[in-house]
Structure 1
Amino acid sequence: MDSKQFQQLSEQIMHDIEQFIDQDMVLNDSDIDYEIHGNVMTITLENRHKIIINKQEPLRQIWMATRRQGYHFNYQQSHWYCDRSGQEFFTILKNALVDLA
């Protein structure tokens, strides 16, 4: 994947995360906010727990940090997958949001 393709794909996942949160698909009764500054998205739950998601352009990865663990995602077969567990990005994000709520 070249730099331009990574930029397009990483921008798309950030947009998809925003939609995922805005549609309130995860925690119907919780207030979840997010901010984007440069390559970093900070998701803040009602209880002030945070999830940090950032683009790692040199490695062509998306990284996610939760209170319990950090994850690195590679783009394969039209999805972002964790390089350790093989789980899809949104599966891990949803589980992290539920766990931190």
Structure 2
Amino acid sequence: MNLNQFHQLAEQLFSNIEQQLDAFSQQYDTDIDYETHGNVISITFENHSKIIINTQEPLLQIWMASRQQGYHFDFKDGIWVCNRCGLTFQQLFNQSVQDQIAN
């Protein structure tokens, strides 16, 4: 993957994240605030916990830091996959959001 492709994929992922956060907010009747600044999305929950998602351009990766831990994702076979546990970004993102809403 070249840098231009990486930026397109990351932009698409960030757009999907914003849509999902709006849906989570409605589904769980909770306030979820998020801000996007360049290559970083900062998500803040009612309990003041955060999830930070950013691009790591030199590595062509997406990184996510949540209360559970940090995750690094590589783009493989059309999806973002954690390079440590093999779960997809979507799986870990959903799990992290639900955990931070519940606590």
Partner of 1:45: 45
TM-score, with structure 2 as normaliser: 0.91
Long gaps (5+) in structure 1: none
Q: Which has the higher contact order (CA 8 A, sep 6+)?
A: 1
Separation in structure 2 between the aligned mates of residue 66 and residue 26 of structure 1, nearest angstrom: 21
Cα 1:66–1:98 change in 2 (3 A) is same
The CA RMSD measured in Å over matched residues stands at: 1.4
State the identity as a percent. Answer: 50
Q: Is the 8 A contact 2:25 2:31 kept in 1?
A: no
Structure with bigger helix share is: 2
Separation in structure 2 between the aligned mates of residue 49 and residue 29 of structure 1, nearest angstrom: 17
Cα 1:26–1:84 change in 2 (3 A) is farther
Q: Is the 8 A contact 1:40 1:53 kept in 2?
A: yes
TM-score, with structure 1 as normaliser: 0.93
SS of structure 1 residue aligned to 2:5: helix
SS of structure 2 residue aligned to 1:71: strand
